[in-house]
Amino acid sequence: MAFMTLDSRKLKSNYEYLDRLFKMNGIQWTVVTKMLCGNRLYLNEVLKLGVTQASDSRVSNLKAIKAINPAIETIYIKPPAKRAIPSVVKYADISMNTEIETIKLLSEEARRQNKIHKIIIMIELGELREGILGEHFVDFYANVFKLENIKVVGIGANLSCLYGVLPNQDKLIQLSLYEQLIEAKFNKQIPYVSGGSSVTIPLIFQKLLPKSINHFRVGETLFLGTDVYNDTTLKNMRPDVFRLYAEIIELSEKPMVPMGEMGTNVEGDEFSFDEKDIGQRTFRAIIDLGLLDVDEKHLKPVDENLSFVGASSDMLVIDLGDNKKNYRVGDLLEFRMDYMGTLRTINSRYIEKRLS
């Protein structure tokens, strides 16, 4: 059975580095836990690091966080579906919103639950995912401030997640100006200017982050050490908090080119092969991992001499070349994972989760 590990010491090192960085720059941050898919073992490891605020895009995961530590402030980080509003108010202290009708329903539900529900209103800065357009935001805020059981605690923006629009100083200054305008026009204090995420961290080092950006939402960089802006690893961060291991279940020397009439595979792909490979042989290993668990495009063997040659629902096939390391059936192969690889692997109930 394939399994993955979380290295608690490396996670702690990454957390402490980020926590120091943000505190030095007057920034509060929320740990985005959606990569953990509500896994209790891994959530426990994260929350015991001293997390005071956690964010997720699944209500069930926020419920799990509250079950572990009710004192942690929780944020629902996407616009709530109307059918989910009772649960959002119950398990999320704060939610991110873009629709006035939804916020009205949140207010009504908060009244029923005898709560004041806090919200961060998301502004569109060019990524074209969630966010209200700038020309509408003053009227939007005016309507929100009328709601008795809603408290606006922030203004925020999403960048990079859909089209890859990168944050820059101009966009973040624009967000800050929106916040200043709202405070001046309505005589309200907006505590959070939530313009930061993993992709924004390099702007801190470049001294390009406006001082008013005081709230970050960070998951990927915490867990993978990623410099998302430059597609590399941040200095002093560990990229190997998570590792995936899969067992070799067959190992044979086989032809490099399939034999027979060719159609499409389970994913609808067609293959062509180099004529020079006809008649050549190579050692191939099949491992107990498949597309049902993770797409091999998001995995990288730690042994750089290995390469993927194919995948099906329950098995991945790896080219061992001449098998210089003398791999055998039963041996474990180790893999690095990118963001989507880690997310899908944790979400697979067929892959055992361990600590290391």
* Residues identified as active-site: 34
Kindly give the interhelix angle for 40-47 and 59-68, rounded to the nearest 10 degrees. Answer: 60
- Which residue, chain included where needed, has tokens 């990623």? 226
Pairwise CA distance, residues 38 & 35, whole Å: 8
Mention every residue, 6+ apart, whose C-beta is less than 8 A from residue 25.
204, 209
The residue type at 192: Y
Strands 332-337 and 242-255: antiparallel
H helix and E strand count, the chain: 10, 19
Pairwise CA distance, residues 206 & 285, whole Å: 46
Burial zone of 208 (CB within 10 Å; 0-12 exposed, 13-18 middle, 19+ buried)? middle
Assign 3-state DSSP to the chain and report helix, strand, coil percentages, each to 5. 35, 25, 40
Measuring CA to CA, which residue among 153, 45, 39, 54 is closest to residue 96?
153
Is the CB of residue 133 less than 8 Å from the CB of residue 125? no
